[in-house]
Amino acid sequence: MNSMSGATPAPAPDTDFLQDVLAGLGARSKHLYPKYFYDAEGSRLFDRICDLPEYYPTRTELAIMREHAAEMGQAVGPEALLIEPGSGSSVKIRLLLDALQKPAGYVPVEISGEHLQTSAGLLAQEYPGLEVLPVCADFTRPFPVPYGRVSPRRHLVYFPGSTLGNFTPDAAVELLRQFRQVAGANGALLLGVDMQKDVATMEAAYNDSAGVTAAFNRNLLVRMNRELGADFIPERFRHRAVWNAAYGRIEMHLVSEVAQQVRIGGECIDLAAGEVIVTEYSHKFTADDLAALAGEVGFVPQRGWSDHRGWFSVQLWAATDPAG
């Protein structure tokens, strides 16, 4: 018998996407939010990116999980409720589930209800003894944590893939404080983060020779045309990804090749030739960055696992005191 409870229903459709796009394109420094990359085509392209030779983060994190998941499970302890914001359909969660001792349940949190139900259903079939409790929500905002039949000894929030690096420093702090509330008393966070390394390696990961990342970036324009009635011509935009040393991050851009005007949501957006729309930040971390960040948001680093080159790290942070 598969054990999957019905997903918490998604909120009624609203205008967040349009409002976020108009606010970002109306700002002095034009930007779009990377969470909107992931329609069906964007998700497919990102899966291709993860297999590219230049894109080291996914395979490096997977290697760490395969080598050290058993140690992670021991460090977490038995009967943890595993909560994964932005769950997707990753193999990493299966490695972690295999390593945990009698997990009290699994709570995938995903904004796409259809994708959530599909991936949660598959996981429930693979793990018939595991209670899967999907939540359809935007994990950047407070979301409910459902409970199943087994009372958990602790909450473990799992946030892999260096997704934290996509947030500005202030937004990352806010998000981690929210995760601290979700973790609660005696809770923990298992966090995957990409570390700073030579610039050529980092830039190549976002400028692949096959052009898949460029297609992924421009697909955001296609999505806005389809869902918001915009009239972007994607061929008029060039993909670019560069290292910004001052902020410790890769910045992904769409560069307007010509002076042009785009209509969206009843608004006209003017773009000069060479003007940049920032579509993603990918912050890279140092050990000092992580230690300072953990303390700021109410966690203390407990264990850390890395690859032999120190390119990527999986950090286990424990709650310092009961959440307020």
Quick: pLDDT tens for 67-109: 999 999 999 999 999 999 988 667 899 999 999 999 999 999 9
Q: What is the DSSP letter of 132?
A: B
User: 1 pLDDT exceeds 50?
Assistant: no
Q: Is the pLDDT of residue 317 over 60?
A: yes
Q: How confident is the model at residue 8 (pLDDT cuts 50, 70, 90)?
A: very low
Superfamily of domain 1-228+284-324: Vaccinia Virus protein VP39 (3.40.50.150)
Kindly list the strands in the beta sheet with 105-110, ordered across the sheet, starting from the edge strand earlier in the chain: 135-136, 105-110, 80-85, 154-159, 188-194, 312-319, 299-306
Closest to 47 measured CA to CA, from 119, 111, 109, 114: 119
Q: Which two tokens stand for residue 183?
A: 């973790």
> Would you kindly state where each structural domain of the chain is located, as residue ranges?
1-228+284-324
> For the chain, what is the mean pLDDT?
92
What pTM does this model have?
Answer: 0.89
Distance between CA atoms of 108 and 85, rounded to whole angstroms?
6
pLDDT tens digits, 146-204: 999 999 999 999 999 999 999 999 999 999 999 999 999 999 999 999 999 999 999 99
3 state SS for 25-51: HHCCCCECCHHHHCCHHHHHHHHHHHC
pLDDT at residue number 9:
46
Of the chain, the end-to-end C-alpha distance in Å amounts to 38
Q: Measured between alpha carbons, how far is 69 from 244 in angstroms, rounded to an integer?
A: 33
Each residue's pLDDT tens digit, 246-278: 999 999 999 999 999 999 999 999 999 999 999
